[in-house]
A and B are shown apart, each in its own frame.
Chain A
Amino acid sequence: MVDIQFLGLLNATLQAATLLFIASLGELITEKSGILNLGVEGMISIGAVAGFMTAVNTNNIFLAIVIGILSSSIFASIHAIVTVILKQDQTVSGLILTILGLALSSLLGKNYVGRKLETKLESIFSIENPSNVLEVILNQNIIFYLAIIFTITISYILKNTMFGTRFQAVGEDSKAADSMGLNVTKTQFIATCIGGAFAGLSGVYLTLSYVPYWTDNMTAGRGWIALALVIFGGWKPYRTALGALLFGFLEALVPRLQTYGFELNPYIVKIAPYIITILVLVMLTIYKGGKTGAPKNIGIPFFRENR
């Protein structure tokens, strides 16, 4: 029994972490280009509802994933147009994206509340009743593996390639990047849409696999935790992944502890991701002189004429 419960805890941790991590990774890419997008919650919702609607209507999971990703990406382009092209305030635009995304997803999903999904996103190796740690890991679905592949490749690209260096230059000092001949506007626009695509993937993970149905406000604040996670991870993919596992573990632990008769204060657990993130920031300030890893130009619109 203990074994099953331990494996259940592991499985639940991986699921909760995957949902958070994919969205964080997208936000990390957007922020690396110097654009802050607070619309993660809204973007996840759009991907979640679009993917679910497609899956219910076509029973085609692959198509549902693609539509989910595309919808969120197109939705994120609103933020790109407002902040990159029109140079408007990124905080305001991002918040609007969250509010709009939640409302729009409720509207679109109105007739899909409580509908049954005939085909779910299953794991690649479907193992019934996984009996050890390896089997639990192998029993995750394709989005989990994509998350691992993305972590490795994105980290590699950012650290070891000229493309990655140039990309980060845009977020660090867009004026210098511009004088070097990099196309700041294009880079930021694409990075914002990629952030949306990742949020969409996180959304379809939620409604096609993790909690396979649709109801209003499905995301229930996960987008905000994903945002905190980027800061926690110091804008580094591996550290963000570690953070996702930690936050996912907390989420999975609370109900399971109760089955043993322990009760952690639920409110403390709910605010834990934010408290931990603030503590990390404070510690970085004390020990590293405030080098949190944030791109220097984040949130600052790029005006070419201002050179």
Chain B
Amino acid sequence: MRRSWAVGLIIISILTMACGGAADVDDYKAAFVYLGSANDGGWTQAHDEGRQYLVEETGIETAFTEDVPPDATEFRTVAEAYIEQGYNIIFGTTFGYLDIMEEMALEYPDVTFLHCSGYKSNDSNYTNYFGKIYEARYLSGLAAGSLTESNKIGYVAAFPIPEVIRGINAFANGVKEVNPNATVEVVWTNTWFGPEEETQAANALLEAGADVLTQHQDSASTGIAAEAAGAKWIGYHTGYGQEAAPNAFVTAPVWNWGPLYTEMVNAVVNDEFTTTPYWTGMSDNVVDLFEVSDDVSSDIKTLIEDRKQEIIDGTFEIFEGSSDGDLLGMFYFVDNVVGTLD
């Protein structure tokens, strides 16, 4: 009896495969593992908006778990629970999941592992993806350079690693283009998240004479400090700073993960998935600049729009003559940045 069941199942599966195994999104379920809370107004919220876009576009079933620390055991517990429930695409949205995702990709060859902001991949079911947010940083630098009166712009920076440095330099290049006399002053907090440290760093920059601030970290503390001091602020991740610091907020480089998530999931579903890392920017609409406030003159707004189009068309280079490799390993400051880098 049991044997005939098994034979029946095998026949059915063979038949299904023989029929061409028509790509069907219903055969896939995608699980997202988040570092923070899905409405943190920053990094994780941007990913969750991407997930919602993905659901709308493809109709795939998704689930997510918030507040999973970048720790191998924590990630494994969450991811394995999803795999047991039949989830076969796992998104991990923080750098710290790098090694555990690589390890689990070996253990579960039928599951696709997609890792944000990492650099590892294998040749079958594990790769990484990231957005060229520095393109939007450059555009926001154009706005900042035109707004400063003290010619000092403060940058509350996270960790001295290429990703952050690339953002600072791109921003400074934008500043220089519209205001060659302005400098970008950097203060490191050595945290990704730390409301108090960010407040201290922002105030230190304001006291040093900065009248426009921006930051790399996840909280809006920098904006709140700018608001209190009557300075201007360029946010990061999402446009939510508009509410937290309405007078200070000018614009923000923002993430738009939805199209990329849709592209990656479609590739998996249609069996076209390759493990070449995804590193795209404005041309794929993965990053963008949030609507610029009216603090910025219409001339500068036009310049921003023009440059944006040139970046999309590939006719303008923010770092002239730099290869992707140069950009990914960037460890120097351009000449209008003032700060320590060892």
Contacts and interface: CB of A to CB of B under 8 A. Distances in A.
Interface of A: 1, 4-5, 8-9, 12, 16, 19, 106, 110-111, 113-116, 206, 210-213, 215-218, 220, 222, 251-252, 254-256, 258-259, 261-263, 266-267, 270
B246 interface: yes
Contacts of B41: 113-114, 215
Contacts of B59: none
Contact of A16 (B196, B205, B244): B196
Interface stretch (B95-103, B184-192, B264-272, B292-300): B184-192
Interface of B: 36-37, 39-41, 67, 185-191, 193-197, 199-201, 203-209, 219-221, 224, 240-241, 243-246, 338-340, 342
A220 B200 contact: no
Contacts of A8: 203-204, 206-207
Contacts of B339: 258, 261
Nearest to B208: A259
Contact of A213 (B193, B224, B246): B224
Contact of B39 (A19, A110, A259): A110
Nearest to B156: A255
- The 3 A-B pairs of least Cβ separation, nearest first, read A114-B41, A8-B207, A255-B204
Nearest to A252: B200
Contacts of B185: 259
Given A113-B39, A252-B200, A4 B67 contact: no
Contacts of B191: 220
A254 B194 CA distance: 14
A8 B37 CA distance: 33
B67 A222 contact: no
Contact of B196 (A111, A222, A256, A259): A222
A222 B194 CA distance: 11
Given A114-B41, A251-B196, A266-B190, A216 B67 contact: yes
A216 B66 CA distance: 12
A259 B152 CA distance: 11
Given A12-B203, A211-B195, A255-B204, A216 B244 contact: no
B339 to A, nearest CB: 7
Nearest to A215: B219
